[in-house]
Amino acid sequence: MSGRIVISPEVAAARRAGGPIVALESTIISHGLPRPENLRVAREVEEAIRAEGATPATIAVVNGQVRIGLDSESLAHIANEDDVAKVSIRDIAIVVARGGHAATTVAATCHLAHRAGIGVFATGGLGGVHREARDTWDESADLQALSHTPMIVVCSGVKSILDVPATLERLETLNVGVVGFGTHRFPGFYLTDSGMPVEARVDSAADVAAIAAARCALDIPSALVVANPLPESRQIPPEIHDRILAEGLAEMERKGIRGKAVTPALIDYVHRASGGRSLEANTEIILGNATLAARIACAIA
Ligand code: PSU
Ligand code: MN
């Protein structure tokens, strides 16, 4: 590919062999988890994918180059440095042209992974419709990207910092497929059940692979979201969750935080207010989703 996109030797070898590959986003590393746990979790997630016999492809922009698969030094840079921008699809080219560094959101990662021939992607939570969207029009570009990128996206729903029912409506409007893994309930990230139903349930990686094959044969242009909940015993107790969430939303209002700063600021608030509990849940979510995505990638390959 052009010098603007560089595929790591590990990912290139997997591509040549037609082996299973799982794309990973990097905004969760740079803006979604606190230091120093972010780097540790990023490495554990890659290992979890290798342990299933698949190849991880963490995606980011380093020195103006899109990297599909990061070496150890680049991963550490994304995790530790303040000069890493958060980029969605519209922002990628600006950072590339200027030779900068950036972490990719779900939208940007889907776009770049698809371009690199990767069909499975694992993350924690998707962006979605914000609660005050009626006034602010704040809806993540992730949703648009999912509507026109054929990708299997394994996640634990969306955080309840968002308007979950509105997000599900938008996913329907945008033709994005949603299936619950082992459940008919849409997960609420820290909560096993967001309170909203999912029509289609799948129970195995092979189930997902069969749907992926049918989508491919039918040229369905959008993504399939595989919503994978935390087990109930591992969720944040709903009373604690609801209190922290209300406080976090009030703080954003007070500080007047807007635009793409909203998601990282809210996530950071929840991490601080929950005394490490949300970090533990977040780590478990990402590891679980990476493992499931690797199994799906293996079933497809
Ligand atoms: N939700 C999370 N953790 C995250 C994000 C979302 O639970 O780290 C990140 C993802 O990279 C997602 C992005 O694509 O935030 C969405 O940001 P925005 O709402 O500005 O589109
Ligand atoms: Mn936004």
**Given a cut of 70, is residue 155 above it in pLDDT?**
yes
The best mutation among 92, 142, 162, 263 to test binding of ligand 1, ranked by most ligand atoms within 8 Å of the C-beta, falls on 263
Are 226 and 200 spatial neighbours (Cβ–Cβ below 8 Å)?
A: no
From residue 74, give the alpha-carbon distance in Å to each of 29, 78, 83, 129. 12, 6, 13, 32
pLDDT at 185: 98
Give the domain extent around 131.
5-300
Over residues 193-203, mean pLDDT:
98
Over residues 199-204, mean pLDDT:
98
Q: Sort residue 160 into left (φ over 0), alpha (ψ -120 to 50) or beta.
A: alpha
Counting from 1 in the atom list of ligand 1, the atom nearest the Cα of 130 is 19
Which one has a higher pLDDT value, 297 or 249?
A: 297
Give the pLDDT band of residue 160 (cuts 50, 70, 90): confident
Over residues 227-243, mean pLDDT:
95
Q: How far apart (Å, rounded) are the C-alpha atoms in residues 198 and 205?
A: 18
Over residues 3-31, mean pLDDT:
97
Residues near ion ligand 2 (Cβ under 5 Å): 138
Residues catalogued as catalytic: 25, 159
pLDDT tens-digit readout, 71-129 = 999 999 999 999 999 999 999 999 999 999 999 999 999 999 999 999 999 999 999 99
Are 61 and 102 spatial neighbours (Cβ–Cβ below 8 Å)?
A: yes
pLDDT at 276: 87
Cα 18 to ligand 2 centre (Å): 36
Cα 34 to ligand 2 centre (Å): 20
Cα 249 to ligand 2 centre (Å): 14
Read off the CATH number of the domain in which 126 is found. Answer: 3.40.1790.10
pLDDT at 2: 67
Q: How far apart (Å, rounded) are the C-alpha atoms in residues 278 and 267?
A: 9
Q: Sort residue 157 into left (φ over 0), alpha (ψ -120 to 50) or beta.
A: left
Give the pLDDT band of residue 3 (cuts 50, 70, 90): confident
Within 10 angstroms of residue 5's Cβ, the number of other Cβ atoms is 16
Pocket of ligand 1 (CB under 6 A): 25, 27-28, 32, 88, 105-106, 124-125, 127, 140-142, 159, 189, 260, 263, 267
pLDDT at 38: 97
The total of structural domains in the chain comes to 1
Counting from 1 in the atom list of ligand 1, the atom nearest the Cα of 86 is 11
Cα 184 to ligand 1 centre (Å): 24
Counting from 1 in the atom list of ligand 1, the atom nearest the Cα of 263 is 19
Q: How far apart (Å, rounded) are the C-alpha atoms in residues 291 and 120?
A: 12
Lowest mean pLDDT among 1-10, 34-43, 91-100: 1-10
Q: What percent of the chain has pLDDT over 90?
A: 94
pLDDT at 31: 95
**Given a cut of 70, is residue 1 above it in pLDDT?**
no
pLDDT tens-digit readout, 39-51 = 999 999 999 999 9
pLDDT tens-digit readout, 239-294 = 999 999 999 999 999 999 988 898 899 999 999 999 889 999 999 999 999 999 99
Ligand 1, atom 2: nearest CA belongs to which residue? 125
Q: How far apart (Å, rounded) are the C-alpha atoms in residues 38 and 171?
A: 29
Ligand nearest to the CA of 158: 1
Over residues 195-209, mean pLDDT:
98
Over residues 5-17, mean pLDDT:
98
Cα 42 to ligand 2 centre (Å): 24
Give the pLDDT band of residue 236 (cuts 50, 70, 90): very high
Q: How far apart (Å, rounded) are the C-alpha atoms in residues 156 and 193?
A: 10
